[in-house]
Amino acid sequence: MSMFDKMPRKVCPVIFLLDTSGSMVGAPIGALNSAIENFMSELIAKNDSNPNVEIRVAIMTFSNEAKWVVGGEELLKPEDVQNSWNDLEAGGITSMGTALSALNEKLSDESGFLNPASKFISPLLILFMDGEPTDDYKSALAELRKNIWYKIASRVAVGYGAANDDVLREFVGKEGIILHTLNPEEIIKHISYSPEKSKSERRLNIREMEEAINFVAEFSSAARKYRGLTAEELKTILQIIGNVSSRAINPVHTSQVFDDEEW
């Protein structure tokens, strides 16, 4: 068996940011709890049908403070989340800025849960929010926008109650999606990057491009040194080189810092 016959599945992080402030007391927090449980069922089904990508989950709540209720140390399988889920309670203010700062910290290659970076593909960030932020979210968002994982993520904001769509648009950017539904099927189908796409169907991001180029260079160097490649091995190497050179880097995967007017 060739080393290329069975590659480990990439991990697609699905990260939820849930507003659990006082305006969510009663029916709204009940609906949100049900939606999250239904979401896990949808994600389990997607994992079962996809041999190339495995979805893992983290969930943050924010009210008086930001708290990782799922996946604070590492991303979890959706079935593990479903089996251990405890209903959320609502109360307090809407510390969105605190939540964005906590998200930025966890999206760090060095100290976050997306490490090593080569294991992961672009995250899905899903914000559920009711009402208005009560803290300085703009400065926290400005820092988050510099984060490469945030830039390459698919971003969806779900507004309910008295949610301010202008704030939601600031979070998702011009390429993101704003919805007003708690139906998981409706939310998932509007996500611009589907985790069901295989590695051969999507464009390489910068990390993967560098990884592939370095691998080919090292492999080629070893081949020159030891010779004796079989025809099948040579064909495999040429295919890798062809695939790398033929795929363009998606503009959203660059490391540029976007101006405010682009959002």
Residue for token digits 């893992």?
56
Q: Is the pTM of this model over 0.75?
A: no
Distance between CA atoms of residues 59 and 130, nearest Å: 17
Is residue 26 situated within a structural domain?
yes
- 177 and 225, same domain (yes or no): no
Q: State whether 90 and 31 are in the same domain.
A: yes
Note down pLDDT in tens along the chain; length 263 residues. Answer: 444 446 788 999 999 999 999 999 999 999 999 999 999 999 999 999 888 899 999 999 999 999 999 998 899 999 999 999 999 999 999 999 999 999 999 998 777 888 888 889 989 999 999 989 999 999 999 999 999 999 999 999 999 888 999 999 999 998 899 999 888 888 877 654 445 444 444 444 555 555 666 666 666 666 555 556 666 666 666 666 555 444 433 333 333 333 444 44
Report if residue 234 sits inside a domain: yes
Q: Cα–Cα distance between 220 and 121 in angstroms, integer?
A: 26
Kindly report the number of other CB atoms within 10 A of residue 231's CB atom. 7
CA nearest to 28, candidates 42, 18, 38: 18
In a domain, 33, yes or no: yes
Same structural domain for residues 177 and 73? yes
Give SS3 for 156.
Answer: strand
Whether 100 and 214 share a structural domain: no
Number of separate domains in the chain: 2
C-alpha triplet 84, 77, 4: angle, nearest 5°: 165
Distance CA 187, CA 177 (A): 9
Q: Are residues 26 and 69 in the same domain?
A: yes
| CA 199 from centre of chain | 16
Predicted confidence at residue 257, as pLDDT, reads 36
Measured CA to CA, the distance from residue 123 to residue 225 in angstroms comes to 40
- Whether 179 and 234 map to the same domain: the answer is no
Same domain for 78 and 184, yes or no, is yes
Domain containing residue 231? 206-247
Nearest to 129 by CA among 158, 92, 93: 158
Give the pLDDT confidence score for residue 95 in this predicted structure.
Answer: 97
Question: Domain check: are 24 and 120 in the same one?
Answer: yes
Tell which of 143, 158, 189 closes a domain.
Answer: 189
